Amino acid sequence: MDILDVIRGVQGGGAVQQLGHQFGLDENQVSSALSALVPALTAGFQNNASSPQGLDGLLGALGGGQHQRYVEDLGTLGQQDTIADGNGILGHIFGSKDVSRQVASQAAAQTGIGENVLKSMLPVVAAMMMGAMSKRMAQPAALGANAAMGSGGLLGMLTPALDSNRDGSVVDDLSGLVSRLLSGR
């Protein structure tokens, strides 16, 4: 199951309802927002995990943090600590607030949802992604040498979210996403 499906399915869809309530969106709008935001976040996570230091940092954060709470207790999603943690995650994976703003702007253009709403939603979604990945890491099948690689590992969980045209390759989708982010469109 890819990360987008995991987030949509958290607590039997309760996370989608919680995000809708928190940001004043209906379930279709939340689903659309997640479909626009998650691939950009996924690209950031995968970019970080592509270096040994980045992968070690991600695995350390997943193992040492309390990120699972974001998918286990939906009440945490509206807390300031969650937003602060999510902003820290965004800073780590994107490196600058400008990239986060571009992601929100592009998602707004795709979805018709206000850019300010998506900017506010972005750190919460980043925290939820860390929660979903942390939960996957805690599962016995994910432990061991392949915890971050392969179809059952973290990167396998992230890859399908990048294949937006479902052609089996993320190369074209990732290069398009990076080009759009860099051009600010």
pLDDT digits (tens, 9 = 90+) for 103-154: 999 999 999 999 999 999 999 999 999 998 888 877 655 444 444 444 445 5
User: Residues near 87 by Cβ (< 8 Å), separated by ≥ 6?
Assistant: 123
Give me the pLDDT at residue 80, please. Answer: 96
Could you give the number of structural domains in the chain?
1
Joined tokens for residue 60: 């350390």
pLDDT digits (tens, 9 = 90+) for 44-68: 888 877 777 877 777 778 777 788 9
- The answer to whether residues 108 and 25 touch, using CB atoms and an 8 Å cutoff, is no
Residue 18: exposure state from Cβ atoms within 10 A (0-12, 13-18, ≥19)? buried
Query: For the ranges 20-24, 34-38, 59-63, 101-105, which has the lowest average pLDDT?
Result: 59-63
What's the rounded Cα separation, in Å, for the pair 181 and 95?
13
- The answer to whether residues 3 and 35 touch, using CB atoms and an 8 Å cutoff, is no
- This prediction's pTM: 0.77
Query: For the ranges 3-7, 28-32, 63-67, 155-159, which has the lowest average pLDDT?
Result: 155-159
- CB neighbours (10 Å) of residue 145? 8
- Measure Cα distances from 87 to 101, 118, 158 in Å: 12, 13, 20
Domain that holds residue 75: 3-183
- Picking from 97, 117, 125, the residue whose alpha carbon sits closest to that of residue 35 is 125
Give me the pLDDT at residue 135, please. Answer: 84
The answer, yes or no, to whether residue 99 has pLDDT greater than 70, is yes
